[in-house]
Structure 1
């Protein structure tokens, strides 16, 4: 094998994984930092869980829904199975229930890090990607739902994402209606599949006595005000009616706080909300393919001491697609022998300095070779 072929072979990465190079890696880090700063400004404190945990902890509670997406390895020290995190929400829930179990509620936590999944999806082929998110733990009030939705929108706006749309759903509505009408678990699974495909014929065949109500709910999608009018016209069992009322109140709070935010409703969306227990949402941006993030209400902690919680995760790769590319930094070459104080003064002014490690005959050519747009000459940065 030739040297070039050998080098190419070493650079080959598994499907769904990639290197992030300059200046994109720095750009991503800067965006994550600004999002985290927005979380902190709203009282959310950062936690940093480990990349790998014991399997039973990682896949308990809401983490059970991610079991098929989790890489597993044997810990050579403890001889116990471990899992590489595929989502950070479950780790934050563990921290809240254990290490911060005695902290005052509601607990506001934030996080940022990389996750790894067994396989990608059609919309997200990446298997490793960044997550940045926030969790509000220990509050079962609609004001908490609204706060989380508004925080997701404000964090994206803080980094310059335009045309944000929040698509609300209540994944408990369909199961409530199906069980109220006595549908079997098998029939409910068929209903879920039909709703995922938005297939009214399949829905009618699977839903039985629930077909009319679910077909009407499927049609009640769109801008929040219009969708709520259609939902309010439906006769729902008491538990479903209570969820509808909470959805309406959340919309009221969200639109009052952010009247320019686009809010839509899809009351039958279930895919991806397997462990959500109430109001949930997906975040989109105009002109961007795929979701920027998603979140919603869930129960954190063990079943014996589960806490009502809500939160969201933003996907950094999709967020970056919603933003202009990175601006090239101001880089200046410091010729060999430049006094350190001169470089320090330039960095204080916002320059990136690159020091020549040896004398060169043509400083301008060396600056260009090293990616510098300027060279330090006669006490100032001169463009090359």
Structure 2
């Protein structure tokens, strides 16, 4: 391996953002943030790392295994690189913006880093764009965040959108109602996560035959939202579980009314990835993509100390960018040495990218091919620099 090749080698899960993809991502991020701002979401900018005992406390405990940690030479305390930005925004809301009027609408964009990737997302660094609606616990708040995400994604050209709703609190509420022992809930959760109805049925001697029957029915009540709601309404759910079901139905109705053409599905027992959520959850998909575009849901800003009710979403830029059309071709013009600065400035105000000839080289230009060296014309130099035009006697000449 040469020295240059060794320098180019990056850790697993890391990559360089190169032209034109880096510019494409930046433009896409700004369009999404502009769309969020139109809904009243003000932008915040959390730091790249924080004190470990702050970032990974409370709800942040669920992200502790994903975070890089290192000692701070300045304070002597342990720091953690952010593996997610949602918890940082919640901290900002409960500290810096504690006295701001509620509900508080905040948006954010930035890079996050994790110790390891997943099978579906092997990258260890990727961009997030998100929003948090803090201080209100109504179904309308959940629906607002979902509808804003759908409108924003459609606005940047992502088509064939769908949303999958979940209710990770439904099963725990049912277990509380039925007084199912904690010792049995772990095995039940494993069976539900595996979508293993036979394993759920096998627990009937420990959780009761009626409970196993109802939980098995919840497990199969997955699919289009109307089918899911019909199946859940057919169950004689106890009080707490019925309230969770009704909350899911209310949010689904509001979303359907706000986006009549949106495909809505539901999985009422899904829990993986939503461990710290306290209500309706959602994941965004497109038929044109092979992975989630983003996800979110209801949570509390600090579950260890009560905190505030909140609903948030996070969009994954790496997946979204695979669906974006190529950026429009930029007008790129080559300016020979000696071009007046005023002329160059005018071209830039007209939308041109100006590439100035800084060395004035001709036929002996070291980067030219042999054929280019034979002519050494301005057109050749412009073509070599990826320009579509060159400047000649006050006119943009197409190559």
Q: For the superposition of Structure 1 and Structure 2, which TM-score range results when normalised by the shorter chain? A: over 0.9
Distance across 2 between alignment mates of 1:304 and 1:129: 31
Distance across 2 between alignment mates of 1:177 and 1:351: 63
Q: Give yes or no for the alignment of 1:5 onto 2:2.
A: yes
Query: Higher mean Cα deviation, 110-119 or 333-342?
Result: 333-342
Please show how residues 231-242 of structure 1 align to structure 2 within 5 Å.
231-242=232-243
Distance across 2 between alignment mates of 1:125 and 1:190: 29
Is the Cα contact below 8 Å between 1:171 and 1:278 reproduced in 2?
A: yes
Structure 1: tracts of 5 or more residues without a match: none
What is residue 93 of structure 1 aligned with on the other side?
Answer: 90
What is residue 275 of structure 1 aligned with on the other side?
Answer: 276
Structure 2: tracts of 5 or more residues without a match: 363-376
C-alpha root-mean-square deviation of aligned residues, in Å? 1.3
Distance across 2 between alignment mates of 1:313 and 1:61: 19
Query: Higher mean Cα deviation, 359-368 or 244-253?
Result: 359-368
Match of 2:382 among 355, 361, 367: 367
Distance across 1 between alignment mates of 2:187 and 2:85: 30
Is the Cα contact below 8 Å between 2:177 and 2:240 reproduced in 1?
A: no
Query: Higher mean Cα deviation, 187-196 or 39-48?
Result: 187-196
Distance across 2 between alignment mates of 1:74 and 1:153: 41
Q: Give yes or no for the alignment of 1:159 onto 2:156.
A: yes
What is residue 302 of structure 2 aligned with on the other side?
Answer: 301
Is the Cα contact below 8 Å between 2:59 and 2:303 reproduced in 1?
A: no
Question: Could you tell me how far 1:205 is from its partner in structure 2?
Answer: 2.5
After superposition, the C-alpha distances for 1:32-91 in whole angstroms (9 at most, x for unaligned) are 000000000110000001000001110122211000001100001100001000000000
Distance across 2 between alignment mates of 1:205 and 1:325: 52
Is the Cα contact below 8 Å between 1:107 and 1:136 reproduced in 2?
A: yes
Distance across 2 between alignment mates of 1:319 and 1:173: 30
Please show how residues 1-384 of structure 1 align to structure 2 within 5 Å.
5-206=2-203, 208-209=207-208, 210-301=211-302, 303-361=304-362, 362-384=377-399
Question: Could you tell me how far 1:325 is from its partner in structure 2?
Answer: 3.0
Is the Cα contact below 8 Å between 2:108 and 2:130 reproduced in 1?
A: yes
Secondary structure of the residue that 1:148 maps to in structure 2? helix
Distance across 1 between alignment mates of 2:291 and 2:272: 14
Query: Higher mean Cα deviation, 108-117 or 338-347?
Result: 338-347
What is residue 372 of structure 2 aligned with on the other side?
Answer: none
After superposition, the C-alpha distances for 1:107-154 in whole angstroms (9 at most, x for unaligned) are 000000000001110100011000000000000111101101101111
Is the Cα contact below 8 Å between 1:60 and 1:302 reproduced in 2?
A: no
Question: Could you tell me how far 1:305 is from its partner in structure 2?
Answer: 4.5
Question: Could you tell me how far 1:175 is from its partner in structure 2?
Answer: 1.3
Distance across 1 between alignment mates of 2:348 and 2:203: 66
Distance across 2 between alignment mates of 1:197 and 1:127: 26
Secondary structure of the residue that 1:226 maps to in structure 2? helix
User: TM-score, normalized by length of structure 2?
Assistant: 0.93
